[in-house]
Amino acid sequence: MPRSFPVPPHRFTRSSTLTPAPSDEPGLPARRAALDILLAIRRGQALDMAMAESEAFEDLEGADRGFARTLIMAVLRRQNTLDEAYGTFLDRPLKSTQGTVITLLRLAAAQILLLGVPPHAATATTVDLAKERRDSAGFAKLLNALCRRMVEKGPSLIEDYPPRTDVPGWLWRRLERHYGAKTARRLAAAFVQEPALDLTPKDPKERERLATALEAHPLGPVSLRRTAGGRIEDLPGYTEGDWWIQDLAAALPISLLGDLTGQRVYDLCAAPGGKTAQLAAAGAHVTAVDISAKRLRRLEDNLARLGLRADTFVGDVLGFSPDEPADLVVLDAPCTATGTVRRHPDLLWSKKEEDVAELSALQDQMLHHAARLVRPGGRLMFITCSLLAEEGEDRSRAFLSRHSQFTAEPLSDDEKERLGPLNAAKDGHLRTRPDLIADAGGMDGFYAARFTRQD
Ligand SMILES: C[S@@+](CC[C@H](N)C(=O)[O-])C[C@H]1O[C@@H](n2cnc3c(N)ncnc32)[C@H](O)[C@@H]1O
């Protein structure tokens, strides 16, 4: 039986930082940044925002930055497993108010059990970081002892925890119900995989040339997949605006809309603009609507780099009432984003069961409003990056039952054949999943359905 360690009483203090170690050990700044960002996420910030706002992360360069990111992703992806691992040696669980200690333990466990970091480096830096902060300084000895126990046991400590350990119960139940136990297990395994970098060329005719220049390969109807690393801004064609970053699955829905030349398109919930860029590059006259002025500015910057244009409208979709109806309305609705947990593993912990009902009600409302913006004979495309039927297949069915002037426009046999293993829909529309094309690196989970207005 492993020996258990008593947990020291929690000492609450207002300021969190003590003096940093006078000379940092190598690797300490990267771990400090990882701790900083994980604590910000614990306070409710989204991963992207926490990374963008962390000064400790900003100060890192090259390999240190990469290491900090690896640590953060490992902790977020395997959080429950890591808690189980160090928890084995505690005689009672830590209190949730002991956030810094918990996060330091997760970081230590990730280094020792998942990432093969030399034991001394993982242990010494964990203790040093603990000593720097008031809310963890009193736990330095405990942390040291727990690190040693994890080092003694090694990775065998976590080998019995299947990937589903790291999927919250509410999400697991839904995946199992909708896809079956086998696929749910595959999805859980896919959630911890590092996604590849996918790019969408602005000009489809340039795909082959760009593939060679970027050391990438064509995948799916429009995308390029690159597995090598490197700074995005340094890649060939970035400055020239030849491509933008967009997951293979995210690029599929718009690729299913045929010739868009000259069409009036309202792109609802448009930022940061991957789909706006596709629509504009295909020759549509696009109005991009988003509630976030900041995200819409990013969309404008992205379009400017690409030499594309769209009108923009900052505001709630539900208040968007243009004079003219559209040939096509694209609604990429807010959702749990459970299809993107490979990139945003913080979603596993920030999203809650109650969000599902709230978001699906909002999707119904937005679909209802979007329908009023479509001209007779025009089309509506509903998209979410969720794996949940409540935010995909169920919403399509509910929409059709309440909007008799719309009919579904399912994928044709030709389209199904072209999509091949990229599509796993059972309702005739598009359903992608992270466990599909696993050997080629997987893809995000999306749902997309096309509707046509009859009258
Ligand atoms: C899934 S993202 C859109 C991704 C985008 N279509 C793309 O391809 O890059 C959802 C967007 O919906 C926006 N949003 C959320 N609620 C909204 C609302 N009520 N009205 C307008 N935009 C909203 C968010 O700001 C976010 O940018």
Domain at 127, CATH number: 1.10.940.10
pLDDT at 15 over 50: no
Share of the chain above pLDDT 90, in %: 92
Q: What is the ipTM of this complex?
A: 0.99
Whether residue 157 is found in the same domain as residue 253: no
pLDDT, tens digit, for every residue of 121-142?
999 999 999 999 999 999 999 9
Express as a percent the part of the chain with pLDDT over 70.
95
Which residue among 68, 248, 251, 385 is the active-site one?
Answer: 385
| CATH code assigned at 336 | 3.40.50.150
- Establish if 227 belongs to a structural domain: no
The predicted structure's pLDDT at residue 10: 36
| Per-residue pLDDT at 21 | 47
DSSP state of 133: B
And the tokens for 343?
Answer: 């990139």
**According to the model, what pLDDT value does residue 47 have?**
97
**Residue 446 belongs to some domain of the structure:** yes
Query: For the residues 193-218, what does the mean pLDDT come to?
Result: 96
How many angstroms separate the CA atoms of 290 and 382, rounded? Answer: 15
Residue 62: predicted pLDDT: 85
In this prediction, residue 194 carries a pLDDT of 93
Asked, for residue 436, whether it belongs to a domain, the answer is: yes
Please check whether residues 127 and 261 belong to one and the same domain.
no
pTM of the model: 0.93
Q: Which atom of ligand 1 is nearest to the CA of 334?
A: 10
In a shared domain, residues 293 and 438: yes
Tell me the average pLDDT across 233-254. 97
Nearest CA to ligand 1 atom 27: 271
Protein residue closest via CA to atom 13 of ligand 1: 269
Exposed/middle/buried for 226, CB within 10 Å: 0-12, 13-18, 19+? Answer: middle
> What pLDDT shows up at residue 24?
63
| Mean pLDDT along residues 143-153 | 98
One domain for residues 415 and 287: yes
pLDDT grade, residue 235 (50/70/90)? very high
Going by pLDDT thresholds of 50, 70 and 90, the confidence category of residue 8 is very low
Residues 296 and 430 placed together within one structural domain of the fold:
yes
User: Distance (Å, rounded) from C-alpha 225 to C-alpha 439?
Assistant: 13
State which of 135, 161, 187 marks the end of a domain. Answer: 161
Asked if omega into 272 is within 30° of 0 (cis), the reply is yes
Q: Are residues 143 and 282 in the same domain?
A: no
Q: Rounded to whole angstroms, how far apart are CA atoms 274 and 303?
A: 9
Longest dimension (CA), the chain: 74
Ligand 1 mean position, distance from CA 296 (Å) = 9
Is residue 449 located within the same domain as residue 311? yes
Tell me whether residue 337 is in a domain. yes
Q: What integer is the mean pLDDT of 277-284?
A: 98
Q: Is 29 a residue whose pLDDT tops 70?
A: yes
Provide the domain count of the chain. Answer: 2
Q: If pLDDT is split at 50, 70 and 90, which confidence band does 14 have?
A: very low
Domain boundary among 131, 161, 191: 161
- Decide if 175 is inside a domain: no
As for ligand 1, residues whose beta carbon falls within 6 Å of it are 269-275, 289-292, 295, 316-317, 332, 334, 385
Answer whether residue 22 shows pLDDT above 50: no
In a domain, 235, yes or no: no
* 326 shares its domain with 429: yes
| Domain stop point among 161, 184, 215 | 161
- pLDDT per position as a tens digit, 34-80: 999 999 999 999 999 999 999 999 999 889 999 999 999 999 999 99
| 214 to 66, 246, 333: CA distances (angstroms) | 21, 15, 32
Quote the pLDDT of residue 26: 77
Task: Judge whether 214 lies within some domain.
Answer: no
Query: Is 335 labeled as catalytic in the residue annotation?
Result: no
| Domain coverage including residue 388 | 248-453
Instruction: Give a yes or no: residue 197 inside a domain.
Output: no
Note whether 34 and 64 are within 8 A (CB).
Answer: no
For residue 374, the model assigns a pLDDT of 98
